[in-house]
Structure formats: C-alpha cells, structure tokens
C-alpha cells in the first residue's frame, strides 16, 4: 500500500533480499577465486607427481592434508585446479553472456518496437538460425577458427543470442502497448528515444534475469564443449576439462568428477538466485 | 428475525516485520437473514480485510487481536479444528470483483462450475451438469448448454459475472459477500446484474454483504449500510436514515462529493483534507488508548 | 458557466477509424479490418468542455486517441486549430504535439515507474526546450505541482509511493506544463476514490477556466460528465447516437439509448423499487437510431384526416415536445391546434410545390421527426383512359412530394442530431394490385426512394422508416373491400417502430400476411391478386 513514505535505497534493498544475497555471495567467492588464484591455490595446478596420484580428500583415509581435496590421475592438486578453473568459468560467463545479451536484446527491441518489415526480417532470421543444430554449428565454427576459449565464447554468442531476441521482442511488444509509451508520443519524443529512454529501463528486470540465466548456461556449455574437444587445451584447468577427465575414473575416484560438477551447479544456482533477487528488488510491479 | 452474521468488536492487525499495524478497529455488525447490507469505504478503509475475516481467508500475516465473527444460524460451528475451506463452502460464499481474473482462463465454464458444485453436492457427472445448467438458467443466461462449453474469454463481462453469481449461490450459502460485483460493468448491465442478485437473494433469504464504493448502488439495493474509514465504523443504519439524515460528518461530506446528474449546479465539494487527517488522527488515538 | 471566445480548437467531420481485427485473423491472410468508430462529427472551442460518453465497446477511447493523433483516422477529416491534421505523419505532427496533450485512465501505467515525479512532470518541458537544464525543469515542476494542489516535495518520490488521486494530479501537472490548447482526458477519474474524484474534477475545471483550455472529457459516468461538460456526444457501437448541449441531452434526450443510459444510473437516493423499473432490453441492430419521443419535435404532412390525424393524436399522447401538423388547407387542421394548445402548431404545406416545401423547412428548424404521410390514390388501373394524368398526379405527390420533403428536411434533421424520417408507403410497394396499378407503381418508387435516402443519410445517423400497411380504413381506400385496418392502429405501429429504431414495418395482418406470402412465392401472390381485376 503506498503510504507516501520514500523507499529505502537500492543497495540496502538488494542486500536484504535473501536470494540476491546468496547469489552475490557465490559470485563474490568466484571473483575472489579467479582474481587471487595464484595466492589461494596451495599448489601449481599443472604440477604433476605421479607418485601422489589419486589421493582422496584430506579428511578421508589415506588423505594428505597438503592436498586438501585430493589429487587426480596425474597427481595434480584438485583444489588448485578447481580454483584456477573459476577463471575460465567467469570469463566465459561474463563475456559470452554479455555479448549474447547485447546483440540479442538490440535486435529484439528493434523487432518488437518497430514491427512491420523490421520485425519480419529479424524474426525470420531468428527462426532460421534456431533451426540449425547447435552442436553442429559449434563444430563447424571450430573447424574455421580453431579450438580454445575464444571459440567457446563465440559459439555461445552465436547460438544463444536468439534466446534474448525472442524473449525481449515479446516483452517489448507488451510494453509498447502501455500508456506510458502513448504518453511519451504525445510529448513529441521520437520513436527511437522512446525505445531507449522509456521502454529499455522497463525491460531491465527481465534482462537481468535472462543475463544471469545465460551466464549459468555459458558455464555449462563450456563443460559440454570440452567433451567434444572444442574448449581450451586439456592442460589448462577448466571445470569442463576436469569433468571430462573425471568421467574416465568415475568408478575408482568419484570425487574427481563430483567436485567440478558441484562447482558448476553451485555457480549456476548462485547466478540464477542473483538474477531473481535483483529482479524482485527492482521490478516495480512485484513490489507493493 | 434471525441473525446470520455477527461481528463482535473485531480488532485485526497485520504483521509487518516486528510491528503490528492495526487494520480493523472495533468493528461491530449484526446482519439479519435476508438483509442486504452495504459496506462502504474508500481504499484503505479496511473493507476488503473485513470481508476476508468473514470468509476466513486471511493472509498469514493477519492477526485477530480481539473480538471475532459468529455465524449463529449456520450448521457448521466455527471452531479452531476445521480448515478454512470447509467454512467457505458450507454456508458462505463470495462474488468477486473482477470476473476476468476470478475465472480460470484455460478451463471451460462447465468444468469450473463442476468443481464448485462437487464441493457441496454429490452426484454423477450428468447430475452435476444438469445442476449447472439449471443454475445458469436461474441467472438468466439464455443458452446454458452452450455457455458450459465455452471458455471465459468467449463471454461478455456481464455474462462472466452472472456465472460467478451462479457459482456463489450454487452452494446454497446463508451469507454471500459481494465484493464490488458491478464495478467493472457497464451501467446498463449493472442494473440487470443488481436486479438478478436481489431476486436470487429474495427467494433464498440469503444475507448479502455488499461491498462497494458506489453510494448510488447502496441507495437502490441495500437495506442497511455501514461506512468505514481507517478501519473504524463511522456510521451504521438503515439506508433511508443514513442518506436522508447522516449523523457523521464524513458521511455528509461523501454525499456532497458525489456528482449527480440531477443536481448539476452544485459544485462538487471534495472531502476536506482536514476531515481525512482528523479521522486518521482519531484512529491513531484509538490505538493509543487500547494499548494503555 | 463557461466563457468561450469562439475560436475552434478541434473539430472532426465524419471521422472514422478502422483497425485490423487480430482476434479473427486467419493464417496467411491479412486480418479483416473492422470499424471502431465512424461518422463522428464534433467540435470544441477554447475554454469549452466536450464530453464523450459511451459504454464499453463504444469506441470512445479510440476516438480520444485519434483526436490527439495517436492513431491515424481512416476516414473523414480532423482539424486542429484550423489545420488539417488528418493525414500528417509523425515528423509533421511532432511540432504540434505540444499543443495537444492526453491524460490516461491509469496514472500508474502512464507514468514511467522508474522516473521520479518531478522528472516525469518536467519531461515535456525538456523535450520541447521550454527549460534549458534539469535543475530549471525541476524547479518548474515544483511550481506545477503546487498548481495542482500538491506539495512540491513530492517531486523526489516515485510513482509507486503515491496514491491514485495524487498520481492523477501529477499527470495533469505534466499535461499542462507546456501550456497546450487541448487536453483529452480519458476516464481519468474512473479508478479513483470518491474524495479524490471530486478533487481532480474540480482541479480540471479550475484549470480550464484559468488557462482557457479546451477540454475533451471521455467517461462512462454520466453524472461526472453532467458536472463539468458543456457539450456532450453519445457513442454506441462506434456510432454517434446523439450530441448537443449538456442540459438538453439530460433533460430531453432525442434517442432512446441516451434515455435508457440516464435511467440506468443509480442516484444516491434511497429507492428500493428502482430495480423493479422496466429495463430496456432492446438488442436489435438499430438501437443506435431508436428515438426517444419525449425529446422529439415532429412534422406530419397530410394531417387533416386518416393516418395523419391519428398520428397527431398518438404522438401527443406519447409526450413529444412539439408537433407541426401540416396540410394543404390550414382550415382543415385548425381544430388540432385548439385540441392541443401549446403542443401542436399548424402550417399550410403543399408537398407538390417547391416553394411551400422550402418555406416549411425554413420555418420548422427544430424538426427531428419527419412523417411523410400525404399521398393520393386515383384508384385506376394502368390501362384506363385517364391513366397518364392520374399517374402523373400520383407520382407528383407520392414520389416527388416525398422526395422534395426529404431533400428539404435532411439538413434540418442533420442539425438536430440526425432524427428520423417516416415514409408512409404500402404493402403495394411490393406487389401490384390491378385495381390500382398506378398507385402501386408510385408506392414502389416511394420504397426505392426510401431505401436510397436511408443509404445517403446513414452517415447523419438518420433513421429512415418505410411503413407498409395493408388496406387502411381511410379516404384513400374508400372503394376497397373490407377488411380494413383502423388508422389509429397504424399510427401506433409507427410510433412503436420509431421507438424501436426499425427500418421497415408491416402493420396489420394483411400486410404481414402478404409479406410472408411474397417471401415464400411472389409469383403466386401476383397471380392471386390479378384475380381482383375488375371486369
């Protein structure tokens, strides 16, 4: 019930929304891990010692406290590899997510707001694009530009921009009918200014949710692409590579697979929660 | 004259964090069998919350701090053990405000009516459908078999409201709460729907609590009326008495604020800001006194 | 109440908007275009308040948006401050947009929820460069908030923190910020509390007087319209049913729909029997044109005897405002003026004479119900000796006379909101009775004439009715064998038809029987009637 009292500041509200807080916590941890990897990691992630391979986590029998989460088949410290892996995860999430969002949102807004031929062209392009099998597209892509992190990012952007485009287009079409747009027309603003100044801010709650969702997806996609060898070279520790390696020894050393999967799950959960939480806080319609 | 609904010195508050915000402040009502009682108040007066208390569908943050509601003539006695749902279908029902959002848009009318009917009546599918058709005919819908097959969006606003009225009366309630049932309707449709409600309740001697902000509707349809502001009952009595000789300044002020097409010369006199502030202040003073 | 200096701000002539109906669109086919409203005529001047009244589906919101060119008219013309803005595109409209503003029904939907109140109010100022900096704009916004009765400190708040009444006043502040000459208010008080409603209405009225605004007020609430509007137009299903000064509309509405709308409004007067009053259940297509007798001024030709005289009686009993009873010789009808003093005015009118007809149109400027009843019957076949002269006479009266009257009075009716034309024909318009073939030919011509006039006057919202009885007991059918209808019965059937808005009526059993027969097998009827040939 609006009672005429001013709202509390935005940061306060975000910090008091439980989901946003959880998400921020996870994201914070990831950032810390990524930035401070050299100092946080107990060992060099690439350092092999075959004598110490397949050590279990330190709290189990035969565990070694020096290798907190154990070692892999080549004696490399899992904990260090996981920490370094956060870097790739974050880079992929942030870069691919943002680029896909930018491209998809721009086209979606144009299609939804201007309608007519613009909409027809963009929608057809999206339909055709989405009918290509994603994995095939990735493989072709890698054949052209070669494997590596840049390939992962480009693959994600090329495939996932359509998700943004369709959803943003639909929401833009809804917002276009709202009275505040009609009101802006009567004030004499140009269509483009209305789109940017009036409609875009109202697309933000949706956009933030989509973006965090996309970031989670990006992390998962990296793990998938590493299965087909399209991700970074197997030496560099990424969660995807760890999963791929761990897959082979699942019966002997289940934690080799389990730990990186847990990292992926936790980061995706965190990102989704962050998106939901922020949307809850900034979306005027859900607040009363 | 049997009473069907008694509200005894009802005080209700809503929990907001650690605070308890008073919403209803000492409401007293005595509704008789067959009475149409108007409940008038502006937004924030508390009439929606009062309706919810009577229907026993309070949000979890609402707390009755004293007083209560009795249903003297009902067979099911309100006791702590029963679930809220039981009370709802046994003797009291609701005609909601917005027919668009109250009906499920993806279910056919027949299915939705069937669900409600099954709560109160046993019977085969065919019997239920016949009952539904009979009810639709009672609310003056011309082709009930067709309507049962349709989806809500295929019906006009007036027809949707009639379906909701049919559903409300289908459980043979003793009390019906009509929450702004005609606010969303055209004025010509409104008149027909009001007549329908009155005709239905006359036959069955149902008590109707008619929640509205439209004093014109109250004047034409209701027997008695209660006016609320800031959770307090300011005036209560027979419609004729209250309209012809209002005792509370708020009532007088409201009557002067309403435009009337038969009195065009009078400039509208909005309810004075001081009066509003004074009423809010009186409400706060009331709260203080109770705490002491 | 208002002082209008006469300069017209907005006017529309036969304005219409048709839009594609996406609800019934079929795949791969363009959506069918349906008219939302059509043939709307209106005008409003500086300082005036024009009300647009209608129920849901009447097209009033679309009309409102068209007036500020949020939509492009698909027919008719729209003039704003003398300029034709009907076909202008966005770029051409932008420079004039600051002169025409709109306030919407839901203030929460019209204000961008992410924008502070003072930024919302000052947005037009910045858009039109009436303020140079944001600080300047916010200051002006503060002043505007004060002007609408709000504390300027509310400028820092966001819409979600304020009540509906406050928000609506903010929208008003925003609308007047750039000093427009026209404001269209679309149901702006419908969602407000009673106390906020009165405040907003008073505010709008005060601003209108202070700033000389031209106000177009759209509402379904007749009481609200009555309180602040000077002129009103009533819409139903996209058609303009009635228009005129607010006082006349409410005290003597010409159309049945307007009357039923007014009666349906519950006034805050305790009255338990109000619900028992007869409810207008008419659903027929011609609801738009159905007349309300109590507001009508009628003119009847040939009122000295027969159906004409009965019509005078019946209309008088029906409570019309005024009747012009006419005949070729005034002496034949003077008794009517005496029987109904103050109600009936008698005139001499010869429908075969151009001058006489034009004179009558000039003299009777307030007519909105024209009954062309005068007619002759020579009772002769087409091959009789004097057939040509007889035919000429019948055509001159029955066809040309009616044509003259329609032409002369169409503009009069249009000025009076469209009105109604009733043409007395006969079931013989549909089939020839050899006894009076000549008459039948002229009645047939009369029927086509009626249909043609109906089409041409549809845009004026004129009800054009063809009355086709069987044999009526009057001088015209004196040689006709019984059974014959009493003329009073025909008169009442005509009045019922006017009230119901019907375009064709067949009073009496003979007429309705013949009509059924003609629908089934016209040739059989023709042959049967041929048996009546004398000799």
ipTM entry:
0.84
Q: What is the pLDDT of residue B82?
A: 40
C56 vs B contacts (CB less than 8 Å): 157, 186
Q: What is the pLDDT of residue C382?
A: 84
A183 vs C contacts (CB less than 8 Å): 102, 104, 110-111
Residue A17 lies in a domain: no
Name the 3-class secondary structure at B68. strand
Chain C contact for A2 (CB, 8 A cutoff): yes
Contact B198 C275 (CB under 8 A): yes
pLDDT in tens, C24-52: 777 778 888 899 999 999 999 999 999 99
Mean residue pLDDT of chain A comes to 85
Query: What percent of chain B has a predicted confidence (pLDDT) above 70?
Result: 92
pLDDT in tens, B220-268: 999 999 999 999 999 999 999 999 999 999 999 999 888 888 887 667 8
Residue among B43, B217, B270 minimizing CB distance to C266: B217
Chain C contact for B259 (CB, 8 A cutoff): yes
CB-based contacts of A77, cutoff 8 Å, min separation 6? A41, A42, A43, A45, A47, A67, A68, A69, A71
Q: What chains are in contact with A, requiring at least 3 Cβ pairs below 8 Å?
A: C
Q: What is the pLDDT of residue B79?
A: 40
Domain residues for the domain of A205 are 25-286
pLDDT of B127 strictly over 60: yes
pLDDT of C412 strictly over 80: yes
Average pLDDT over residues C472-489: 81
pLDDT in tens, A88-139: 889 999 999 999 999 999 999 999 999 889 999 999 999 988 888 877 877 7
Domains in chain B and their CATH numbers? 3-291 (3.40.50.300)
Residue from A263, A212, A217 nearest A237 by CA: A263
Smallest CA–CA distance, residue A262 to chain C, in Å, is 39
SS3 string, chain A, reads CCCCCCCCCHHHHHHCCHHHHHHHHHHHHHHHHHHCHHHHCCCCCCCCCHHHCCCCCCCCCCCCCCCCCCECCCCCEHHHHHHHHHHHHHHHHHHHHHHHHHHHHHHHHHHHHHCHHHHHHHHHHHHHHHCCCHHHHHHHHHHHHCCCHHHHHHHHHHHHHHHHHHHHHHHHHHHHCCHHHHHHHHCCCCHHHHHHHHHHHHHHHHHHHHHHHHHHHHHHHHHHHHHCCCCCCCCCCCHHHHHHHHHHCCCCCCHHHHHHHHHHHHHHHHHHHHHHHHHHHHCHHHCC
B280 vs C contacts (CB less than 8 Å): none
Contact C161 A187 (CB under 8 A): no
Residue A269 lies in a domain: yes
Name the class of domain C8-251: alpha beta
Residue among B192, B213, B244 minimizing CB distance to C279: B192
Average pLDDT over residues C256-263: 89
pLDDT of C282 strictly over 80: no
The residue ranking higher by pLDDT, C453 or B89, is C453
Residue among C267, C270, C272 minimizing CB distance to B262: C267
Q: What chains are in contact with B, requiring at least 3 Cβ pairs below 8 Å?
A: C
Chain C contact for A287 (CB, 8 A cutoff): yes
Q: Rounded to whole angstroms, how far apart are CA atoms B291 and C329?
A: 92
Residue A270 lies in a domain: yes
pLDDT in tens, A199-258: 998 898 899 889 999 999 999 988 888 877 777 777 788 888 888 888 888 887 788 888
2.60.120.260, 2.60.120.10, 3.40.50.10170, 3.40.50.720: which CATH number matches C294-530?
3.40.50.720
Smallest CA–CA distance, residue B215 to chain C, in Å, is 6
CATH of the domain at A53: 1.10.3720.10
Q: Rounded to whole angstroms, how far apart are CA atoms C11 and C84?
A: 10
pLDDT of C22 strictly over 80: no
CB atoms within 10 A of CB C534: 6
Q: What is the pLDDT of residue A63?
A: 76
pLDDT of C500 strictly over 50: yes
Mean residue pLDDT of chain C comes to 89
The pLDDT-based confidence of A267 (bands split at 50, 70, 90) is very high
Selected residue of B259, B262, B267 to mutate for chain C interface (largest C Cβ count, 10 A): B259
- Note the pTM of the prediction, 2 decimals: 0.83
> For residues C181 and C117, is the Cβ–Cβ distance under 8 A?
no
Q: What is the pLDDT of residue A6?
A: 53
Q: Do domains C8-251 and C294-530 have the same CATH topology?
A: yes
pLDDT of B84 strictly over 60: no
B250 vs C contacts (CB less than 8 Å): none
Strands B19-32 and B92-95: unpaired
The residue ranking higher by pLDDT, C160 or C61, is C61
Q: What is the pLDDT of residue B266?
A: 66
Structurally, chain A folds into a number of domains equal to 1
Q: Rounded to whole angstroms, how far apart are CA atoms C464 and C21?
A: 30
Residue A248 lies in a domain: yes
Chain C contact for B220 (CB, 8 A cutoff): yes
Q: Rounded to whole angstroms, how far apart are CA atoms A46 and A81?
A: 8
Residue among A179, A180, A287 minimizing CB distance to C160: A287
Largest pairwise CA distance in chain C: 102
SS3 string, B126-176, reads HHHHHHHHHHHHHCCCCCHHHHHHCCHHHCCHHHHHHHHHHHHHCCCCCEE
> For residues A159 and A225, is the Cβ–Cβ distance under 8 A?
no
Contact C275 B261 (CB under 8 A): no
pLDDT in tens, B173-193: 889 999 999 888 888 889 889
Please state the domain extents for chain C: 8-251, 294-530
Chain C contact for B273 (CB, 8 A cutoff): no
Chain C contact for A183 (CB, 8 A cutoff): yes
């Amino acid at each position: 019930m609006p009672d005429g009292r001013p709202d509390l500041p935005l940061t306060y509200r975000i910090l008091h929304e439980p989901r946003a807080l959880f998400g921020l916590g996870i994201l914070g941890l990831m950032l810390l891990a990524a930035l401070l990897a050299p100092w946080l990691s107990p060992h060099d992630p690439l350092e092999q010692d075959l004598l110490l391979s397949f050590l279990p986590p330190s709290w189990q029998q035969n565990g070694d406290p020096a290798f907190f989460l154990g070692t892999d088949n080549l004696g490399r410290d899992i904990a260090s590899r996981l920490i370094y892996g956060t870097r790739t995860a974050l880079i992929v999430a942030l870069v691919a997510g943002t680029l896909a969002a930018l491209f998809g949102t721009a086209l979606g807004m144009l299609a939804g707001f201007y309608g007519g031929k613009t909409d027809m062209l963009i929608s057809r392009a999206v339909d055709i694009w989405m009918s290509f099998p994603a994995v095939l597209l990735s493989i072709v892509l890698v054949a052209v530009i070669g494997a590596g992190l840049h390939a992962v990012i480009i693959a994600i952007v090329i495939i996932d921009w359509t998700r943004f485009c369709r959803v943003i287009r639909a929401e833009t079409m809804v917002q276009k009918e709202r009275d505040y747009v009609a009101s802006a027309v009567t004030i004499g603003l140009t269509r483009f200014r209305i789109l940017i100044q009036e409609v875009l801010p109202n697309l933000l709650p949706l956009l933030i949710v989509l973006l965090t969702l996309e970031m989670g997806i990006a992390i998962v996609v990296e793990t998938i692409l590493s299965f087909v060898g399209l991700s970074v070279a197997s030496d560099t520790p990424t969660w995807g590579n760890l999963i791929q390696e761990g897959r082979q020894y699942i019966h002997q050393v289940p934690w080799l697979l389990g730990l990186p999967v847990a990292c992926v799950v936790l980061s995706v959960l965190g990102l989704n929660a962050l998106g939901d939480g922020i949307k809850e806080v900034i979306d005027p319609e859900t607040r009363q | 004259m049997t009473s069907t609904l008694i509200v005894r010195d009802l005080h209700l508050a809503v929990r907001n964090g650690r605070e308890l915000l008073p919403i209803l402040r000492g409401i007293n009502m005595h509704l008789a069998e067959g009475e149409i009682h108007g409940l008038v108040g502006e937004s924030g007066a508390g009439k929606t919350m009062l309706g919810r208390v009577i229907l026993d569908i309070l949000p979890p943050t609402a707390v009755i701090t004293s007083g209560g509601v009795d249903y003297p003539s009902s067979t099911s006695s309100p006791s702590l053990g029963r679930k809220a749902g039981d009370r709802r279908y046994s003797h009291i029902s609701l005609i909601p405000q917005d027919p668009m959002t109250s009906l499920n848009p993806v279910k056919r009318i027949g299915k939705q009516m069937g669900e409600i009917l099954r709560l109160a009546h046993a019977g085969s599918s065919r019997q239920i459908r016949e009952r539904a058709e009979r009810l639709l005919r009672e609310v003056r819908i011309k082709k009930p078999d067709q309507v049962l097959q349709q989806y809500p969006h295929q019906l006009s606003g007036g027809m949707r409201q009639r379906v909701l009225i049919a559903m409300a009366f289908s459980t043979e309630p003793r009390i019906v709460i009509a929450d702004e049932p005609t606010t969303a309707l055209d004025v010509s449709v409104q008149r027909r729907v009001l007549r329908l409600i009155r005709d239905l309740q006359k036959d069955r001697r149902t008590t109707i609590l008619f929640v509205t902000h439209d004093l014109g509707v109250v004047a034409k349809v209701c027997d008695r009326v209660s006016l609320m502001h800031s959770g307090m009952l300011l005036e209560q009595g027979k419609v004729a008495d209250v309209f012809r000789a209002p005792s509370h300044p708020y009532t007088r002020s409201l009557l002067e604020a309403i435009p009337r097409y038969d009195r065009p010369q009078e400039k509208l006199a909005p309810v004075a800001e001081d009066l509003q502030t004074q009423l809010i202040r009186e409400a706060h003073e009331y709260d203080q006194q109770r705490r002491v | 109440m208002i002082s209008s200096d006469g300069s017209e701000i907005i006017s529309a002539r036969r304005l219409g908007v048709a839009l594609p109906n996406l609800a019934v669109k079929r795949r791969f086919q363009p959506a069918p275009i349906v008219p939302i409203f059509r043939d709307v005529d209106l005008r409003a001047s500086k300082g005036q308040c024009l009300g647009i009244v209608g129920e849901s589906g009447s097209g009033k919101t679309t009309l409102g948006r068209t007036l500020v060119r949020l939509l492009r008219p698909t027919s008719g013309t729209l003039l704003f401050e003398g300029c034709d803005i009907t076909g202008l595109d966005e770029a051409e409209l932008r420079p004039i947009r600051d002169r025409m503003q709109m306030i919407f029904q839901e203030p929460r939907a019209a204000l961008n929820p992410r924008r502070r109140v003072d930024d919302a109010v000052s947005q037009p100022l910045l858009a039109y460069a009436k303020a140079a900096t944001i600080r300047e704009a916010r200051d002006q916004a503060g002043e505007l908030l004060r002007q609408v009765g709000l504390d300027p400190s509310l400028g820092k708040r966001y819409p979600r923190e304020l009540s509906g009444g406050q928000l609506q006043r903010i929208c008003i502040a925003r609308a007047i910020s750039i000093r427009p000459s026209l404001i269209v208010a679309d149901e702006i008080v419908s969602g407000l509390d009673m106390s906020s409603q009165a405040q907003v209405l008073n505010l709008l009225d005060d601003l209108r007087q202070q700033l000389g605004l031209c106000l177009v007020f759209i509402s379904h609430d007749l009481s609200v319209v009555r309180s602040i509007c000077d002129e009103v137009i009533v819409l139903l299903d996209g058609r303009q049913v009635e228009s005129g000064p607010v006082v006349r509309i409410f005290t003597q509405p010409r159309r049945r729909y307007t009357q039923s709308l007014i009666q349906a409004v519950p006034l805050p007067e305790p009255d338990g029997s109000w619900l028992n009053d007869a409810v207008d259940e008419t659903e027929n297509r011609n609801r738009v044109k159905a007349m309300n007798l109590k507001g009508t001024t009628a003119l009847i030709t040939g009122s000295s005897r027969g159906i004409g005289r009965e019509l005078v009686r019946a209309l008088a009993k029906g409570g019309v405002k005024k009747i012009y009873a006419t005949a070729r010789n005034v002496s034949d009808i003077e008794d009517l003026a005496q029987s109904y003093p103050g109600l009936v005015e008698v005139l001499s009118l010869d429908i075969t004479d151009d001058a006489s007809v034009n004179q009558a149109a000039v003299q009777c400027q307030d007519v909105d119900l024209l009954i062309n009843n005068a007619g002759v019957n020579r009772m002769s076949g087409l091959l009789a000796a004097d057939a040509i002269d007889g035919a000429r006479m019948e055509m001159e009266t029955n066809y040309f006379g009616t044509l003259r009257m329609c032409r002369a009075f169409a503009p009069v009716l249009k000025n009076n909101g469209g009105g109604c034309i009733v043409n007395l024909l006969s079931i013989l318009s549909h089939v020839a009775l050899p006894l009076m073939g000549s008459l039948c030919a002229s009645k047939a011509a009369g029927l086509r004439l009626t249909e043609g006039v109906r089409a041409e006057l549809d845009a004026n919202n004129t009800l054009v009715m063809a009355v086709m009885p069987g044999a009526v007991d009057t001088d015209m059918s004196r040689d006709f064998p019984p059974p014959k209808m009493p003329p009073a019965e025909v008169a009442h059937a005509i009045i019922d038809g006017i009230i119901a808005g019907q375009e064709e009526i067949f009073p009496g059993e003979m007429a309705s029987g013949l009509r059924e027969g003609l629908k089934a097998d016209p040739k059989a009827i023709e042959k049967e009637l041929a048996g009546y040939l004398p000799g």
